[in-house]
Structure 1
């Protein structure tokens, strides 16, 4: 299937908006066509309209999740936007003597690089003290890859050399050119499926929340709703990090900006 009509594209714009709050511009028409073509073939369907009917029939939840996985963009790498990790280190150091665990949420963790970057900083800063990292995403496909913690080396260039030696294993023989996050560090990171566009699961409050390079896919109303839900999970005095290309202008007044793309809850 090499073509999708404007009407059919409109159906999938509504589908992914309803499912995940993501707004697809008309420039994404070729992406939708390309990513769903194999599913039409796998389901033995002759048109995108027929595939949409399958998704909305209520009879195939697994296929709905597959379509959501394919239509969500997941781009990340280790230690993206280093200033946020400097802030994380400072916040963790300031909390070292507190009795409660230091908790961080990577709220759109994709394939896990962000969550493991956070864990490396906390392991280096807090050692065996009580700390927790939670990574979440709407896509089950990327969460499976995150739990495996196995990455091509080109995605790992920004990991500091000291962290590579302490927390990562280089692949050899048939695994050459890849990296595996050490089992001990992996055990400190929990991944779970979360749709930020719906009621969030019960989570204990976090000291730092990363929601980076996600809001660019939402319209204004969805941004406000998602941020409001997430901020309920942030401790007073906690930090909220967004992408450098994003802004909370007209989104919330509940936070104080302390640096570009870094906010704090009073």
Structure 2
């Protein structure tokens, strides 16, 4: 009697996936049938995410700002799981501050994780995918890559660089069957948002003002962003590359 083995699930690596948008994205891709690798700097949170997901999920602790860490991370995934099909470049840190007074150290720190680490992850993923028939890289940028908001200039610049990288990398890597796209969330109800809101002088008025500026009349949820990533990772998006998909309730369409 002959047996037919089922194909192994595709593998998705999600950076910065221990909370918020990253955790929701890991959950959605897991639901889509991917073998999901969750990465981040917190073992406690990462292991909790993976325990919630169950089978086909692993956590790998990683500090993507360390020299060579993206290569080590993705090579480890390829060597131990067998492939890397999708990489979601989500790891980032927030930054606010009056532009003219931001210390150089804060600028460097923000760009180190939001821009340089994201570039090196893309490079490491691209090298693996080039040698294995292709894949899909999805960068998480921001509405702030396209608009100006007071006190957010450094963060905006760090994310704007990744938006530009997305289009350039899509063209350069297309001959290797590597698609590169981005998702640009608007204001999203994450723990980071809740912390920011709680620090405002009048949180209720601030929350109302944020929603008033969104045509659809509500904040994004992490699941809204994860759904967009899911689409770009799917076979249905096989002919889409070099695009940035806004998930902002129409904010940047005004």
Question: TM-score of the superposition, structure 1-length normalised?
Answer: 0.31
User: Over alpha carbons, which structure has the higher Rg?
Assistant: 1
Question: TM-score of the superposition, structure 2-length normalised?
Answer: 0.32
